[in-house]
Amino acid sequence: MIRVSIIGGSGYTGGELLRILSNHPQVEIDYITSRKLDGVPVTKVHKNLRGIEALEGLTFKNIPPEDIDSDFVFCATPHGVSMEIVPVLYERDIRIIDLSGDYRFEDIEVYERWYNRRHTGKLEGVYGLPEIYRESIRRGKLVANPGCFPTGAILLLAPLIKEGIIEERILIDSKTGVSGAGITPTDTTHFPNINENIIPYKVISHRHTPEIEKELKKLSTRDIKVFFTPHLVPVTRGILTTAHVFLQEERDREELLDIYRRFYRGEPFIRILQEDIPSLSGVRGSNFCDITLEVDRDGRVVLISAIDNLVKGASGQGVQNMNIMARFDEREGLYFGGLAP
């Protein structure tokens, strides 16, 4: 049994961490923090968790990080805030899973340029994509949980990049649910503005672009170039990613699917689909990533993945990383299907 705390637990990712961890047989929840909600029962904010025995009596606490003495801490804090908290926890030998972007980049200058802020909490973290960095995660003290778009995109492209059979230029289009914008309403996420609408945003300047690119470059011997555009769609949760790549030599669909099956052999949360197209309803609420592909007559490969942005794209992947670090069964607390009707 391990003791776990969540710093910044009032948002969507904090609520998903509570939902998953409250049913984890190896976890006892210590603290869930919030400066504004000190003393408020967590189920008053996360109403979907009412009646869960493990959460009875649990309230938000305005407790400084230096007073937390848990085995693991999840930082579900905004970009720029984690770097103020993580070093305090790190010095106290607490193992950390950070859900912000503060520790995803080895090159701090790239972070500062794309996140438009100075990085002050310089520590070396492990990039928390289990399917690629499992052994490093197992040994890690600080794990930087990947972004939601990078999770869907990197998992989608890694096998073909590693195989070295596609051209360097990669086009990626992602459709995301509104929960990806966070719990605070904005003009863009206001119901009349997003309902029956699709909104491209940060069309050539989304800060997940360099995160995707740097990870794909590590798998390649060539200079990969990523061109990424996200779109906001009128659904609550989920990311559907479509990537277009071009083969260097002729391969048929079955050969390419075999590459994916070999690459992800034994991976508990990757499903390679033979007949179906990935759908948001197929992964909603789950930690699965569904993948398939098609090949056209001119050597273009269309790759498609689906994840839940709040689970495999955030909190679920964080718990998967915790399981690896704690040497639990990786599926513990996470092995359930999506909420398809």
Which residues are catalytic, by number?
148
Q: What is the DSSP code (8-state) at residue 165?
A: -
Separation CA 318–CA 145 (nearest Å): 6
Q: What is the DSSP letter of 249?
A: S
Amino acid letter, 138: R
Q: Which amino acid is located at 26 in the chain?
A: Q
| Residue 13 in tokens | 């990712």
The token pair at 221 is 């011997």
Backbone angles phi, psi at 19, to 5 degrees: -60, -45
What are the φ and ψ backbone dihedral angles of 155, each rounded to 5 degrees?
A: -60, -35
Name the residue among 334, 318, 328 with its Cα closest to residue 98.
318
Q: How far apart are CA 182 and CA 140, in angstroms?
A: 28
> Which residues, 6 or more positions from 5, have their beta carbon under 8 angstroms from its beta carbon?
29, 30, 31, 32, 33, 68, 70, 72, 73, 74
Q: What is the C-alpha separation between 102 and 109, in angstroms, rounded?
A: 12
**Contact (CB, 8 A) for 291 and 303:** yes
Contact 50, 43 (CB under 8 A): yes
Place of tokens 């459709």: 175
Residue in the structure block whose two tokens are 């098609």: 294
Pairing of strands 142-144, 169-176: unpaired
